[in-house]
Structure 1
Amino acid sequence: MQVWSHNYNPFDNLWLSAFVALIPIIFFFIALAGFRLKGHVAGALTMMVSIAVAVIAFGMPVNKAFMSAIHGFLYGLWPISWIIISTVFLYKLSVKSGKFEVIRHSILSITNDMRLQVLLISFSFGAFLEGAAGFGTPVAICAAILVGLGFKPLYAAALCLIANTAPVAYGALGVPILVAGQVTGLSAFEIGAMTGRQLPILSLLVPFLLIFILDGFKGIKEVWPAAIVAGISFGLAQYITANFIGPELPNITASFTGIVSLIILCRFWTPKNIMTPEGKVAAKDYVVSLTKPSLSVTAQFHAWSPFLLLTLMVTLWSTDFFKELISSMNFVLNLPSLTDSIYRVAPLVNENTLIDIVFKFNPIGETGTAILISALVSMFILRVSILDAIKAYIDTLKELQFAVLSIGMVLGFAFVMNYSGMSGTLALILASTGIFFPFFSPFLGWLGVFLTGSDTTSNALFGSLQASTANQLGLDPVLMNAANTSGGGSGKMISPQSIAIACAATGLVGRESELFRFTLKYSLFFATLFGILTMLQSYVFTWMLI
């Protein structure tokens, strides 16, 4: 088999090489934001552009370039699309059974105000799902719930993507942080703790931004107590858990604290005006005119049980015990012309490293399977007939066909970027910025998550480079890896994978360009914020590194 090594500087000029490596990304941005092409069309064209650049400019063998795209496409089908299909199917069963209406009223019994519902569902409950499941599950479920509450689909999708920024760094049970520790040899606890000295600042800002997007400065003026309670309770729990317990549980504790704090607040405080899908109504008038069914605790538990079951199943699937139990069911498929044939080289890594490229298939162990089992059990809990369930699944497949195609195409483009060394070239140009590297360090994580849709993969891809660059410049490698994972969270909302998931959950398939344009400015804002914060921590607030 032909063995090939990366060449990060094919033009003997790193800046020129980096500009050429940027061509596929620039093309994708223009295709979505400029020409407003549909996601699967933009993804397909970008994948072809990335293959051309990889072969012509970076010398990647043609067979390896095409196989990289195929590997990315397969990964988009399994496990990513498998998760989305199962999640949307579960949601459709809830709607078809009529129990989603009970869920809607149970949320309304806590608060009738859309701004507070966003804080409760997309910010707090979404963080819980991120901590338990990850892989786009929080965006898919929370966006669907918001649409059911009367939110416009575009806003529901965008708000959930932006809210998901706060918990992404810790992911499901701290996996992104644990991986950063593994690839760098640094303490995962220390990386998690340092991340916990960055993210709480974001967690304080996100609730205000969500309200601003929904209702402008007037909305902030009306519901600022809720934004403060949500941000402080969430951020404080995040900080305490990360610094004194470990990186596995910050999302769980922060989300639980945020939900409880908001529920308690809503019991004793109501905004002067209530924001509803029909417009604003004075609170006193709305309360008088409101008619809603009286819901027993049993009825509410019955309606919520599919989502509670999903959480339990996904949490079980994430445990080391279960993973070891079903490890014998793992199927590892070697990929022709890719497996054991591409080396990542210095200076991206300390020594030539063979990239582990295989297609992993475990029909039982994937998160999507846990969600599907939850859906199948929920058929009986919700009393949905087998015929209706089959129809719901067929409808799900029809609705998501272009979303699945979009995910496959953009992951094909991302895998070509990574396996060809183009992403490594972009990383090296950021690492060459000298004393300004702390500012650009979060952008490295941002780039990694944009390309892969995963903070875990971004840390695996760039963690070692962050550490080695920090050591060369006399900076703290723990801080740079924390910046990589924190900055990565800000790239999640514009990752093509995340965009496709959000569109699939809200019925916006084919309108990916609108959602991308909506979230892009906020993504860049948060990445810049993390860059400034990392600079200050490196050179001014050095006491935060102790």
Structure 2
Amino acid sequence: MDTFIATLPIIVLVWSMTKERPWPAHIALPLTALFIGFLQLFYFQGRAPELAANTIAGLLSVLTPLSIVAGAILLNSILVRSGSQEKLRHYLESVSSNKVAQLMIIGWALTFMLEGASGFGTPAAIAAPILVGLGFPALRVALLTLVMNTIPVSFGAVGTPTWFGFEALNLSEETLLEVSSLTAFIHFVAGFFIPLLALKFVVGWRDIRANAVFIFISVLSCTVPYLLLAQVNYEFPALIGGVIGLSLSIAFAKFGVGLKRVNYTSTNLKKESSLENIVVGLSPFIIMIVILVITRVQQLGVKPLLNNTEVWFQLFDIEVSKALIVSWNDILGTTISWSYKTLYVPALIPFIVTIVLLIPFLKVSFFELRHAVSETGERIKHPAIALVGALIMINFMMQGGESSPMFIIANNLADATGENWLYVASLLGALGSFFSGSATVSNLTFGGIQYGIAEQAQLSVPLVLSLQSVGAAMGNMVCINNIIAVSAILGINNQEGKMIKQTIKPMLVFALVAGILSQIMP
């Protein structure tokens, strides 16, 4: 009965968002959160103060994804109004007018690099508007970017899901590197399938077959260095793989290697590839990438400054650190806490900083800036409500520790599968990402469960943890937060259920690949 009651809200949520006349996320998620709160209070004997504290934490936690989305929408609006995005479109068309090449360069290689540098939903926030600016349909682009942005995720944000996600397990350096190696290998093999399934959302199989050589060159340009580096390091595989992959993808596309020949529709190619278009079109993204690398790479010394937790001042129970980290510990006398890293969450840095630097360069008028801000406010209203519902729902599902609905589901999955756990271990990681919106949080939440299952069933601990890491990454395809965020950025309304129906298919293919590989890996 406990398992049924714990699973019931998930069933209700999926049904409400995928039925014939689906509820929009800003209605379905808050109602589901209310339903789980009711179950916590009257079935799981959840304490009212903790429910109240989790509600407050959920309301405040929305600042993180919402500020990222708002920053991305504002930047994109300014780029459109200033003409920068149009110039970028001209430049990319000058590299190759082949649509598959454009999708691989932006949707795959650029996304791969940005995930390695930052994570936090930044890749889709940057890449998706570029592709829409190139003329691709918004809904199809959203599906493509959700599926593409999975393989680099285990090593996203300079390896955070791996080195921080499993930190509580106190793994040895040798074990962590083994987890890194196995994780990268599974992603490497999945790289032969997942990008193809992502492309299918936008172009047909005929185009994919005609450009298959370039597609695999672009994929391998990222995944080969990614795999090799993961044998000795778990911070830079995605970042370095993305840099190499993006450079090679542009170079090969420029010379048409492996691409079906497509005639340019423009009558003035020289104008389209002019230095002005290259500089103006790429400058926003070059600035952002430089800022992300400077602020994310530990060795450069800026990252510790942005994460400095030394208290600057305190107001009642709220603390503000010298790095402007706002924290509220022990909300309402519980153990529940909340914090917002003002300088590290990729909103103020890099989006707002980039906008400030670009205003004089792109000659953005006050009138254009005011309208961009107004448009941003309008577009984030419904996503804000949906995200609040999602985050409160997540907190309620995890309330109760080992007696929480989330842990009841996880433990029953383990009991039901026994020694066959390897086949479905990745799905638990995906479940964590589906709810939390973060591969890191999924690893933090379920890493201990996976570790315990591995020991009980006498399975390889590094292998089980690598499946958890892979699952947490592939869960980005169906993650509610990610779907809401990319929909808000692209102006897609009330399509969340339809998107989950579409992205769950490649996610299950990914899980199948991981399950099969788990049987032949050490």
TM-score (norm 1): 0.86
- CA shift, 1:164, in A, is 0.3
Match of 1:331 in 2: 326
Match of 2:14 in 1: 29
CA deviations on 1:190-238 (whole Å, 9 max, x unpaired) are 3212211211011222232233333333222211111221222222111
Q: Quick one: which of 358, 367, 372 aligns to 2:346?
A: 367
1:268 aligns with 2:247: no
Q: Quick one: which of 89, 92, 100 aligns to 1:104?
A: 89
CA distance in 1, matches of 2:194, 2:16: 29
Match of 1:219 in 2: 207
Listed as ranges, the matches of 1:272-287 within 5 Å are: 283=262, 286-287=263-264
Match of 1:428 in 2: 411
CA deviations on 1:424-453 (whole Å, 9 max, x unpaired) are 111111222211111121111011000101
SS of residue in 1 equivalent to 2:339: strand
CA 1:290–1:530 in structure 2 vs 1: closer, same or farther (change >3 Å)?
farther
SS of residue in 1 equivalent to 2:204: helix
The answer to whether the 8 Å contact 2:194/2:506 transfers is no
1:232 aligns with 2:220: yes
CA distance in 1, matches of 2:366, 2:265: 42
The answer to whether the 8 Å contact 2:221/2:249 transfers is no
CA distance in 1, matches of 2:202, 2:304: 45
CA deviations on 1:288-333 (whole Å, 9 max, x unpaired) are 7654424333541232212221222233333443343242233321
Q: Quick one: which of 476, 479, 482 aligns to 2:466?
A: 482
CA distance in 2, matches of 1:416, 1:541: 37
The answer to whether the 8 Å contact 1:201/1:235 transfers is no
- Whichever residue aligns with residue 370 of structure 2, its letter is I
SS of residue in 2 equivalent to 1:515: helix
Listed as ranges, the matches of 1:439-478 within 5 Å are: 439-478=423-462
- Whichever residue aligns with residue 264 of structure 1, its letter is A
CA 1:182–1:336 in structure 2 vs 1: closer, same or farther (change >3 Å)?
closer
Q: Quick one: which of 277, 286, 303 aligns to 1:308?
A: 286
The answer to whether the 8 Å contact 1:116/1:226 transfers is yes
CA distance in 1, matches of 2:398, 2:280: 45
The answer to whether the 8 Å contact 1:500/1:509 transfers is no
CA distance in 2, matches of 1:272, 1:445: 36
CA 1:290–1:210 in structure 2 vs 1: closer, same or farther (change >3 Å)?
farther
The answer to whether the 8 Å contact 1:207/1:230 transfers is no
Q: CA RMSD in A?
A: 1.9
CA deviations on 1:359-388 (whole Å, 9 max, x unpaired) are 113433432110211112211221112332
SS of residue in 2 equivalent to 1:112: coil
- CA shift, 1:54, in A, is 1.8
- Whichever residue aligns with residue 41 of structure 2, its letter is V
SS of residue in 2 equivalent to 1:94: helix
1:72 aligns with 2:58: yes
CA deviations on 1:117-168 (whole Å, 9 max, x unpaired) are 1111111101111111211111121111111011111101000001001111
CA 1:304–1:21 in structure 2 vs 1: closer, same or farther (change >3 Å)?
same
CA 1:231–1:272 in structure 2 vs 1: closer, same or farther (change >3 Å)?
closer
SS of residue in 2 equivalent to 1:197: helix
CA distance in 2, matches of 1:67, 1:300: 50
CA 1:338–1:516 in structure 2 vs 1: closer, same or farther (change >3 Å)?
farther
CA 1:250–1:436 in structure 2 vs 1: closer, same or farther (change >3 Å)?
same
- CA shift, 1:55, in A, is 1.9
The answer to whether the 8 Å contact 2:131/2:141 transfers is yes
Match of 2:379 in 1: 399
The answer to whether the 8 Å contact 2:98/2:259 transfers is no
The answer to whether the 8 Å contact 1:118/1:210 transfers is no
CA distance in 2, matches of 1:155, 1:393: 26
The answer to whether the 8 Å contact 2:141/2:202 transfers is no
- CA shift, 1:511, in A, is 2.4
CA deviations on 1:219-265 (whole Å, 9 max, x unpaired) are 22211111221222222111101113x11111112212222232232
CA distance in 2, matches of 1:22, 1:533: 29
- CA shift, 1:335, in A, is 4.8
- CA shift, 1:57, in A, is 2.2
Match of 1:43 in 2: 29
Match of 2:136 in 1: 151
SS of residue in 1 equivalent to 2:151: helix
CA distance in 1, matches of 2:428, 2:264: 49
SS of residue in 2 equivalent to 1:509: coil
- Whichever residue aligns with residue 338 of structure 2, its letter is F
Match of 1:178 in 2: 163
CA distance in 1, matches of 2:297, 2:253: 35
Match of 1:346 in 2: none
CA 1:291–1:517 in structure 2 vs 1: closer, same or farther (change >3 Å)?
farther
CA distance in 1, matches of 2:266, 2:360: 37
- Whichever residue aligns with residue 58 of structure 1, its letter is F
- Whichever residue aligns with residue 23 of structure 2, its letter is L
The answer to whether the 8 Å contact 1:143/1:160 transfers is yes
The answer to whether the 8 Å contact 2:109/2:249 transfers is no
CA 1:381–1:64 in structure 2 vs 1: closer, same or farther (change >3 Å)?
same
- CA shift, 1:170, in A, is 1.1
Match of 1:383 in 2: 363
SS of residue in 2 equivalent to 1:360: strand
CA distance in 2, matches of 1:161, 1:434: 32
Match of 1:348 in 2: none
| Structure 1: 5+ residue stretches without partners | 1-15, 275-282, 341-356
Match of 2:42 in 1: 56
CA 1:404–1:294 in structure 2 vs 1: closer, same or farther (change >3 Å)?
same
CA distance in 2, matches of 1:235, 1:418: 35
Match of 2:275 in 1: 297
Segment of structure 1 superposing worse, 203-212 or 18-27: 203-212
| Structure 2: 5+ residue stretches without partners | 309-321
Aligned-pair identity (%): 25
The answer to whether the 8 Å contact 1:410/1:496 transfers is yes
Segment of structure 1 superposing worse, 395-404 or 363-372: 363-372
Match of 1:279 in 2: none
- Whichever residue aligns with residue 318 of structure 1, its letter is R
CA 1:59–1:104 in structure 2 vs 1: closer, same or farther (change >3 Å)?
same
CA distance in 1, matches of 2:422, 2:3: 19
Match of 1:350 in 2: none
CA deviations on 1:84-123 (whole Å, 9 max, x unpaired) are 1011111111111111111001111111122221111111
Match of 2:238 in 1: 251
CA distance in 2, matches of 1:135, 1:56: 35
CA distance in 2, matches of 1:100, 1:75: 31
1:206 aligns with 2:188: no
CA 1:330–1:260 in structure 2 vs 1: closer, same or farther (change >3 Å)?
closer
- CA shift, 1:512, in A, is 1.9
CA distance in 2, matches of 1:289, 1:410: 45
